Structure formats: C-alpha cells, structure tokens
C-alpha cells in the first residue's frame, strides 16, 4: 500500500524518493506490540502442540508419564476398529461434501433467481447453520426414534414402515451424514450465492443473444464460473467431514457397536478410557491424515481454479 | 531460547493460579470448618449424600459440608483424575471402588486409612476393593448392589412362571412371555453401558466353573475367548437377539425407558443393576414391590448364585486441610447410624457393607432378594472388583454382539484385545 502524499501529485510515476523510508517507519509496529499476541499464540497453541507431539510418545496417566517411544502409534494403528473408523470417516466426508456441493449449488441458483420470497427463503436455508451442533444432534435423535419419532410417524401416514434409523447398523452413519448436510448446506448455499452474484451479467446476455435457454445459462456460465465457490465448499466441508465428531457423538456415539465410528470418535473414546498418551498419538495421526488429504486436494483444486 | 523461557513463565503463572484457587476452606476463628464433598450426579448418589451430610451436620454443628456434583461415566473419571493431578480436589469425594480406583494412583493422591478407627465398622470383605498394595483408602458409600436380571413379578405371577435356575429354564420362560405378547428381555442399547450386564453379571458362574479365572486373567494367562464359562456371557447375549426376545427399537432405547417398561410390565426381564430401582419408587411406587431380582442363571441349577457390585468408596484427598473433620465424616458414613440416616431417605438397593447396619423392614423387593443370596453365601464380586483389568470398549462390543452384528466368539476375541490394550496402558506385568 502506498500512502497518499500530502499535496497534489503532479503526474504519474513513482512517488518522490524521500517518502519510502517514512512509509516503512510508520507501518512497522514496534516489536513489543506483537508480544501479547505472541504470548497467547505460544501458550495456547504452540506449547500444547509441541507437548502433544511429546506426550504421544509416552504412557501418560495425567499423574505421570513414561516414555514408550512409538509404542502408542503401533497400538493405535493396531486398533481393531480403526479400519471401520477410517472407512466411515472417508465415506462421511465424501457423502457430506458431495451433497453440500450439489444441494448448495442448486439452492444457490434458486435463491439468486427472481423469486418473490427470496429473502425469506435465504434465511430459512441459512437458519440451521446457526444452531449448535449438539442441539441439532439431540433434536434429530428424538425425531428419528423408531416408534415415537416424528420422521417415522410422518412416514407411517404415507404408508411407509420407517426403521430404527440410528439404532440400525445399516442406516446409522448415513442418517447422521444427512443431518450434517441439513445443517451445513446453508453455509454452502451462502458461498454459492456470493459466487453466482459475482458472475458478470455480460455472460448471461451473451448466452441470451446466442439464443441459449436456462440450461445453457447454467451449464456454460453459472457452473464453470462458480468454480471458486465450489472449491471453497469442497475444501471446507471435506476437512470438516474428516474431523467430524460432535454430531456423530451426540446422535450415535459411534454405535450401534462400532458401525458409525469415525477416527475422531475412536480417539475420543480412548481419552474417555484414560489412555491419554494413546489418544494423543491418535490425534497426531489424524492431523497427519487430514493434512495428507487436504493439502494435495487444495493444490489440485487450486490449479483447476486457475485453469477455469 | 526466549520462547522456552516464556513458556516456562507462562506455565508457572498458570499453575500458580490453579493452586491458589484450591485453598478456599480454611478453619474459621470459631473452630467451624467447611468440608467440600464431590459426588456424581446420579439421583441415588445425590439423595444418599444429602441424607448423610444432613444427619452428620446435625450431630456436628461446627462442621458444614458443601456438596458439589460431577457427571458420571468416563467423563466423571477424567474430572476426578484431572482435579487430583492438579491438586484441586475437594476434601472428600465419592468415587468407584475396584478397578477404577487403581487408576487414581491412591498412594500419591489419597489419605491412607489403614488401621485407622474410621474403618472400625467396615466389613472385611469390602476392604480389598478400596485398597492398593495392602493399604485401604476408603469407606463404603451406599449399599452393595446386584448385577443380574431384574424381573417383573406380576408378569411371572400372571403367566405362572418360576424364577429360573439354569439358562435353559430362563430361555423357556422367555418363550412363554413372548407368546403372551410381552417383550421377554429389555434391551436399551442407546445407553451403551447397559448392554454389558449379560457378560459382567455372569461372573458368579465364571467363578463357579473356573475359580482361578480372575487371577489368571490379570496375569494374561486366561482369556474370555478361550474360557468357555467366560465366553458364555457373549453367547447368551447373541442367543437372546437371535431368538428375537428383545423389544422393538432396542437399539435406540434408553436406560430410563427400559426401567419404565420393566416396572409397568411391558417387558419381563431386564439385565441390570439393582441400584436403578430405588430412585424410581417415588414416581412409580409399584417398583418397590413388583420388581424382583435373580442372578444370571448358569448351566448348573445346584450352583446358582448372583454377582454383586460392591458399593462405591468415599475417599479423602491428600490435599485436604481439614483432615480431622474429613475423618469424622467418613467414620459417620461407615457406622450403623450413617446407614440408618440413609435408610430414612433412600431405599437401599442391596446389603450394607457396614457391621451392624441392617436393611429396613420395608426394604424394596430387589434388596430382599439380594439379601437372600448374601445370607446363603451364593455371591461373587464382579470381575472388575477382583481384577484391575477392564477393557474400555466392552460396552460397544456387547452392543454389537447383542444386535447380531458380531458373532459371540468374535466379540469375546475383540474384548480380549481391548483388555490387552488396557493392561498395557496400566503397565501391568506379563502383557
């Protein structure tokens, strides 16, 4: 940022030479001003992170810790339900982020069109995002109850025999994922609305001149040009899906049995059992897994964004 | 380098905050003392603690006891561990006895009561479950409870059934109950812990068949999967599911719903702890008379018995500044007078572990049923009281077996692996 000089500039070209050092002196804060933020960052983020990497290598009871090397990592990877947990985590992340992209885009298109109730509908779609995840989990656990839940009662009205959505191994994970989509699609929609609104009108006029219909407008203008929005939604919801915990925990606690366990819930159960070193090792692994998936994904999608 | 110095300073600042807030209860000038008493938030514990503290404060006007509650389950375990390890524990606290106590590192964190007059009235059988390395740390809070089958006596009367002594009889009863349109066995797998009773409550039968199982199991020489008597618990669970004896929606039913079903006679059997009943008596009075208890039946009618859960312990934190008052309170808890004060408010769920303390005349049916087993010497403590090893995932494994997702043999093998993880984390020898 160059700062406006006092007095009128006489013409284009670089600002007079003496201005530069003064600009630098003004914009540079004394280092002391960084200190409070630095201390907060150090104490609350950096120290615990480094400590976590250390405690992952110990048998840690909160009272004392004993260095055991990579034993915890070995034990965590030998965890019998890790495979299910890993599968579920990926399935959950893919299903939720996929549905959020599709539904978010459709709702985004709908809510940027000339609807009469547009403002109202936008609030309705965004509302679930504002509610606490735990509250959503508890509410839906009630709604999905086999006999007394509203969902099955509604299904019964149209003659469909609903099932025990959360107590049945085949539907538990998917039910939670759908609730996650219900809750998260508002945010995706808002991102899409912003993305679609920023597409210049000229493109649509060009399609109109060429005689293209609604489908052409969507296929050749909206879809490719809202790629930045798609990119944000995929990254946000995919990482969110990989780390998802609160909704799964409040709705099924990883059950029935281990059928809806994710990596995060496996780690949490180990904290609960008092295996602090072991679960810290699990967190380190989760951190590495999320990084290993998110960084290449980010890179790949980023490259496409440039191309698009 | 400066980073490290800063970190140390910051940690020092944080930890000094922690310790200064811990000292809130110093003796006042007039000799009055305030004790802090941490309990779990289950209705039974809250009521019992209220009865005990009120009676104690009446007799000792200079001592005030303030109770504070914490959540139960593993969340509560972590609160206890954190507060003990940071020196922020209340003077006196209520916590499990048996294997969970071992994880608190009692030698470092609790006041040793071995040989202290506080323990004078405590029954000898109870001491091992509050001891580590031969030192005793606590007195019994509340009563022992039975872990087995709670059954609706009205349903039994109506269908002319007899209390089963063998598993085969039990399953035969279930057939008749199902034919009568009542759910034979209540399952409440939403509260996963409730799914463990067929396995944990079966320990009397395991001990009858293999008396040295606990010892060998702790030493990594006996396994659930390879000891038929121990594996039986998992088999039972699978069999009940396979025959369709559980009510519809068992996967998302809760413990409260299960108890209600049982008391109202919509379900006949509920594998459960007897301590679940006393809190129900005020809202569903028939819970006191209509629900009975029997131990989980085994293979041999002649060797029938029941598995007992010892009472929780009440312990003194080493950081207390009011040791005398705390000991006085514990001595009162572990006396017949303490038991009487409790009886007046809370229905006992089983026998007391205090010499001279008796069940009241109008005790609830489950407590009476359990007392019979105790009087006849046909009880065994649950495995978690005789071995420090209990795997943390048993409740998920039993849900999976009980829902037909995992075959029983595989479930038992999974549990053995789970146990191995626990034993390794405890640093036990031989694993």
Summarize pLDDT for B271-303 with one digit per residue, the tens: 999 988 988 888 999 999 999 999 999 999 999
> What confidence tier does B425 reach under pLDDT thresholds 50, 70, 90?
confident
A144: chain B residues, CB-CB within 8 Å: 252
Q: What are A's interface residues with B at a Cβ cutoff of 8 A? A: 39, 42-43, 46-47, 59, 61-64, 66, 75, 79-81, 141, 144-147, 164-169, 253-259, 269-275, 277-278
pLDDT over 80 at B45, yes or no: yes
Instruction: State the Cα–Cα distance between residues B280 and B288, nearest whole angstrom.
Output: 8
Model pLDDT, residue B24: 42
Tell me which chain A residue has its CA closest to the CA of residue B11. A43
Residue range B222-241: average pLDDT? 95
B103: chain A residues, CB-CB within 8 Å: 61, 274
Cβ separation A255–B189 shorter than 8 A: yes
Cβ separation B190–A66 shorter than 8 A: no
Distance from CA of B270 to the nearest CA of A (A): 19
pLDDT tens-digit series, residues A73-127: 988 888 888 888 999 999 999 999 999 999 999 999 999 988 888 889 999 999 9
Residue B354: strand, helix, or coil: strand
**Can you tell me which residue has the tokens 């059950």?**
A255
pLDDT tens-digit series, residues A171-202: 999 999 999 999 999 999 999 999 999 999 99
A262: chain B residues, CB-CB within 8 Å: none
Instruction: State the Cα–Cα distance between residues B36 and B287, nearest whole angstrom.
Output: 34
Residue range A243-271: average pLDDT? 88
pLDDT over 70 at B15, yes or no: no
B192: chain A residues, CB-CB within 8 Å: 253, 255
Distance from CA of B293 to the nearest CA of A (A): 28
Average pLDDT, chain B: 89
Cβ separation A167–B82 shorter than 8 A: no
> What confidence tier does A4 reach under pLDDT thresholds 50, 70, 90?
very low
Model pLDDT, residue A180: 94
Out of A80, A259, A271, name the one closest to residue B417 (CB): A80
Tell me which chain A residue has its CA closest to the CA of residue B410. A80
pLDDT over 60 at B11, yes or no: no
Task: Tell me the CA distances in angstroms from B232 to A245, B225, B226, B243, B408, one per residue in order.
Answer: 35, 9, 11, 16, 9
Instruction: State the Cα–Cα distance between residues A143 and B330, nearest whole angstrom.
Output: 47
B108: chain A residues, CB-CB within 8 Å: 63
Contact assessment for residue A301 and residue A295, using Cβ atoms and an 8 Å cutoff = no
Can you name the residues that pair with A66 across neighbouring β-strands?
Answer: A59
Does the ipTM surpass 0.85?
A: no
> What confidence tier does B92 reach under pLDDT thresholds 50, 70, 90?
very high
Please count the helices (runs of H) and the strands (runs of E) in chain B: 19, 13
Residue range A272-281: average pLDDT? 87
Model pLDDT, residue B152: 96
Distance from CA of A46 to the nearest CA of B (A): 9
User: Closest Cα partner for B412 from B202, B166, B168, B167?
Assistant: B202
Cβ separation B81–A257 shorter than 8 A: no
Contact assessment for residue A271 and residue A40, using Cβ atoms and an 8 Å cutoff = no
User: Closest Cα partner for B336 from B65, B55, B100?
Assistant: B55
Cβ separation B248–A147 shorter than 8 A: yes
Distance from CA of A128 to the nearest CA of B (A): 24
Tell me which chain A residue has its CA closest to the CA of residue B391. A273
Model pLDDT, residue B4: 44
Tell me which chain B residue has its CA closest to the CA of residue A51. B7
Out of B252, B405, B422, name the one closest to residue A166 (CB): B252
Cβ separation B396–A42 shorter than 8 A: no
Model pLDDT, residue B77: 86
Instruction: State the Cα–Cα distance between residues B65 and A303, nearest whole angstrom.
Output: 66
Residue range B59-75: average pLDDT? 90
Distance from CA of A189 to the nearest CA of B (A): 33
The separation between CA B398 and the C-alpha centre of its own chain, rounded to angstroms, equals 18
> What confidence tier does A13 reach under pLDDT thresholds 50, 70, 90?
very low
Model pLDDT, residue A167: 84
Average pLDDT, chain A: 85
For residue B339, give the H/E element and its range: helix B336-345
A43: chain B residues, CB-CB within 8 Å: 6-7, 10-11, 14
B14: chain A residues, CB-CB within 8 Å: 43
Residue range A221-248: average pLDDT? 89
Distance from CA of B75 to the nearest CA of A (A): 6
B77: chain A residues, CB-CB within 8 Å: 272, 274
pLDDT tens-digit series, residues B156-192: 999 999 999 999 999 999 999 999 999 999 999 988 8
Cβ separation B6–A42 shorter than 8 A: yes
Cβ separation B396–A255 shorter than 8 A: yes
B393: chain A residues, CB-CB within 8 Å: 81, 269, 273
Model pLDDT, residue B422: 85
Can you name the residues that pair with B68 across neighbouring β-strands?
Answer: B38
Model pLDDT, residue B347: 86
Residue range B321-334: average pLDDT? 95
Model pLDDT, residue B17: 41
pLDDT tens-digit series, residues A49-69: 888 889 899 888 777 788 888
HSE-CB at A264 with a 13 A cutoff on CA atoms is 18
Model pLDDT, residue B21: 39
Residue A113: strand, helix, or coil: coil
Instruction: State the Cα–Cα distance between residues B431 and B233, nearest whole angstrom.
Output: 24
B87: chain A residues, CB-CB within 8 Å: none
> What confidence tier does B103 reach under pLDDT thresholds 50, 70, 90?
confident
Tell me which chain B residue has its CA closest to the CA of residue A58. B425
| Distance between start and end Cα atoms, chain B | 41
User: Closest Cα partner for A214 from A118, A121, A112, A100?
Assistant: A112
B388: chain A residues, CB-CB within 8 Å: none
Distance from CA of A88 to the nearest CA of B (A): 16
Cβ separation B105–A63 shorter than 8 A: yes
Burial of B117 from C-beta contacts in 10 A (0-12 / 13-18 / 19+): exposed
> What confidence tier does A306 reach under pLDDT thresholds 50, 70, 90?
low
User: Closest Cα partner for B255 from B335, B325, B194, B323?
Assistant: B194
Residue range B341-355: average pLDDT? 89
Residue range B369-391: average pLDDT? 89
Out of A43, A168, A274, name the one closest to residue B81 (CB): A274
Instruction: State the Cα–Cα distance between residues A300 and A296, nearest whole angstrom.
Output: 6
**A-B Cβ pairs (cutoff 8 Å, strict):** 119
pLDDT over 50 at B401, yes or no: yes
Contact assessment for residue B173 and residue B245, using Cβ atoms and an 8 Å cutoff = no
């Amino acid at each position: 940022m160059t700062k406006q000089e006092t007095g009128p500039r006489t013409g284009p070209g670089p600002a007079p030479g003496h201005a530069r050092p003064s600009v630098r002196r003004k914009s540079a804060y004394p280092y002391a001003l960084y200190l409070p933020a630095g201390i907060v960052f150090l104490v609350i983020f950096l120290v615990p992170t480094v400590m976590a990497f250390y405690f992952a290598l110990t048998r840690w009871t909160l009272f004392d810790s004993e260095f055991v090397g990579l034993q915890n990592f070995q034990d965590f990877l030998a965890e019998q339900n890790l495979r299910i947990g890993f599968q579920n985590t990926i399935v959950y992340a893919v299903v939720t982020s996929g549905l959020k992209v599709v539904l978010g885009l459709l709702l985004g298109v709908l809510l940027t069109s000339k609807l009469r109730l547009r403002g109202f509908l936008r609030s309705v779609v965004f509302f679930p995002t504002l509610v606490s995840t735990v509250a959503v989990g508890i509410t839906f656990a009630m709604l999905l109850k086999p006999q007394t839940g509203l969902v099955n009662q509604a299904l019964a009205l149209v003659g469909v025999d609903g099932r025990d959505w959360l107590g049945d191994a085949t539907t538990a994970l998917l039910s939670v994922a759908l609730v996650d989509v219900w809750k998260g699609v508002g945010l995706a929609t808002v991102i899409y609305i912003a993305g679609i609104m920023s597409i210049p009108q000229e493109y649509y006029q060009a399609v109109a001149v060429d005689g293209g219909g609604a489908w052409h407008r969507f296929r050749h203008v909206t879809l490719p040009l809202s790629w930045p929005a798609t990119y944000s939604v995929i990254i946000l919801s995919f990482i969110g899906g990989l780390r998802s915990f609160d909704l799964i925990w409040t709705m099924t606690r990883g059950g029935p049995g281990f059928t809806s366990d994710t990596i995060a819930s496996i780690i949490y159960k180990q904290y609960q059992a008092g295996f602090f070193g072991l679960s810290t090792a699990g967190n380190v692994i989760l951190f590495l897994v999320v990084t290993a998936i998110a960084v290449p994904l980010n890179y790949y999608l980023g490259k496409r964004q440039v191309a698009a | 380098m400066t980073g490290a110095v800063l970190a140390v300073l910051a940690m020092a600042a944080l930890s000094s905050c922690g310790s200064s807030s811990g000292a809130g209860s110093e003796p006042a000038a007039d000799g009055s003392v305030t004790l802090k008493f941490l309990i779990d938030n289950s209705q039974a514990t809250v009521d019992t603690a209220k009865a005990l503290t009120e009676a104690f404060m009446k007799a000792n006007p200079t001592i005030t006891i303030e109770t504070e509650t914490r959540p139960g389950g593993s969340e509560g375990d972590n609160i206890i561990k954190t507060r003990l390890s940071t020196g922020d524990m209340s003077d006196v606290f209520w916590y499990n006895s048996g294997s969970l106590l071992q994880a608190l590192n009692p030698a470092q964190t609790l006041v040793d009561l071995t040989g202290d007059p506080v323990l004078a009235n405590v029954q000898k059988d109870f001491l091992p479950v509050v001891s580590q390395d031969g030192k005793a740390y606590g007195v019994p809070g509340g009563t022992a409870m039975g872990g087995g089958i709670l059954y609706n006596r009205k349903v039994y009367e109506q269908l002319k059934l007899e209390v089963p002594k063998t598993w085969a009889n039990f399953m035969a009863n279930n057939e008749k109950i199902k034919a009568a349109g009542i759910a034979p066995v209540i399952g409440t797998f939403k509260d996963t812990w409730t799914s463990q009773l067929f396995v944990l409550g079966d320990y009397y039968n395991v001990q009858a068949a293999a008396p040295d199982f606990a010892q060998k199991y702790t030493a990594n020489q006996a396994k659930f999967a390879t000891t038929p008597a121990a594996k039986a618990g998992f088999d039972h669970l699978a069999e009940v599911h396979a025959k369709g004896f559980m009510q519809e929606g068992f996967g998302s039913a809760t413990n409260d719903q299960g108890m209600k079903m049982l008391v109202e006679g919509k379900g006949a059997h509920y594998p459960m702890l007897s301590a679940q009943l006393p809190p129900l008596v005020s809202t569903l009075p028939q819970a006191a008379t209509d629900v009975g208890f029997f131990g989980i039946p085994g293979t041999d009618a002649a060797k029938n018995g029941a598995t007992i859960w010892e009472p929780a312990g009440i312990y003194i934190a080493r950081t207390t500044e009011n040791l005398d008052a705390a000991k006085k309170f514990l001595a009162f808890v572990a006396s017949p007078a303490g038991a009487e004060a409790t009886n007046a408010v809370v229905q006992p769920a089983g026998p007391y572990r205090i010499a001279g303390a008796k069940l009241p005349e109008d005790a609830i049916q489950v407590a009476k049923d359990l007392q019979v087993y105790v009087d006849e010497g046909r009880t065994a403590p649950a495995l978690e009281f005789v071995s420090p090893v209990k795997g943390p995932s048993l409740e998920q494994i039993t849900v999976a077996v009980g829902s037909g997702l995992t075959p029983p043999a595989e479930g038992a093998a999974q549990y053995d692996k789970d146990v191995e993880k626990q034993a390794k984390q405890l640093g036990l020898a031989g694993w």
